[in-house]
Amino acid sequence: MFAQRGGIMEIYLKDASGDSRSPINGEIFGLFFCANVNRFGQPFSYSPFGDTRVLVRVEEILRLTPSMYFADFYCMQNNKDVHHVTIVLTKTGSSADEFCRKRLHRLELSSNPFLYNDDGQIWVTSAVFVDVFVTVDLNVKNMIRRGVAEIEYGVETRGLGKTSQGGEKGVKTNNCEYCDIFGSIAIAGSYDVF
């Protein structure tokens, strides 16, 4: 990122991981971030995305991409006990924003159960993993200089250490009683959000 792109983290095409029927797969470009933190409000000591971590203040991300959309809810074949929600953040009026506005459910920062503002502070649920897909390039070099981002090296890696690009371990579980809404007709009906 620094040696070849001048400190710019460039967006890439959303792969087929998660639910294969998600409308954003192969359609919009972005960057994945994990929004969850530990019980002390700090990043987890490990990362599923590799040993180098870019931390960006949530206020900065929301300033750049204020439009929020619900895109996916799933668990993966290698771990049915852990569910993920994908939230897409877009720059208002961008092509990604237009795409999401037509196809996804819009979320308001003040009133959604995943990533929300409560009394001026941004919170994230601990009931599911919240994966945020940010649809703009990020000038990490500039963000570090302004104190709104930092880089951590030598982070313990768990899992693949990278996105699966639609590989078997990144694909949604079939027949999950919580997130397989297309499974059995007998379980169709209303669903509670954790």
Using alpha carbons, list the distances in angstroms from residue 155 to 7, 52, 105, 163, 166.
20, 6, 34, 16, 24
Q: What average pLDDT does this structure show over 64-92?
A: 89
Instruction: Indicate whether 194 belongs to any domain.
Output: no
Calculate ∠ Cα 89-87-53, nearest 5°.
Answer: 80
Instruction: Indicate whether 60 belongs to any domain.
Output: yes
Instruction: Indicate whether 192 belongs to any domain.
Output: no
Q: Which two tokens stand for residue 72?
A: 């996916």
What is residue 190's predicted lDDT score, i.e. its pLDDT? 42
Instruction: Indicate whether 134 belongs to any domain.
Output: yes
Please state the domain count of the chain. Answer: 1
Instruction: Indicate whether 96 belongs to any domain.
Output: yes
Instruction: Indicate whether 88 belongs to any domain.
Output: yes
Instruction: Indicate whether 84 belongs to any domain.
Output: yes
Q: Which two tokens stand for residue 22?
A: 């998600």
pTM of the predicted model as reported, rounded to 2 decimal places? 0.87
In which band, very low, low, confident or very high, does the pLDDT at 77 lie, cut at 50, 70 and 90? low
Instruction: Indicate whether 171 belongs to any domain.
Output: yes
Q: What average pLDDT does this structure show over 94-113?
A: 97
Domain range for 157: 2-187
- Strand arrangement, sheet containing 129-134: 12-13, 29-34, 129-134, 79-90, 67-76, 105-107
Render pLDDT for 121-154 as a digit per residue (tens, 0 to 9): 999 999 999 999 999 999 999 999 999 999 999 9
Render pLDDT for 10-39 as a digit per residue (tens, 0 to 9): 999 998 888 888 899 999 999 999 999 998
Mean pLDDT (the chain) is 86
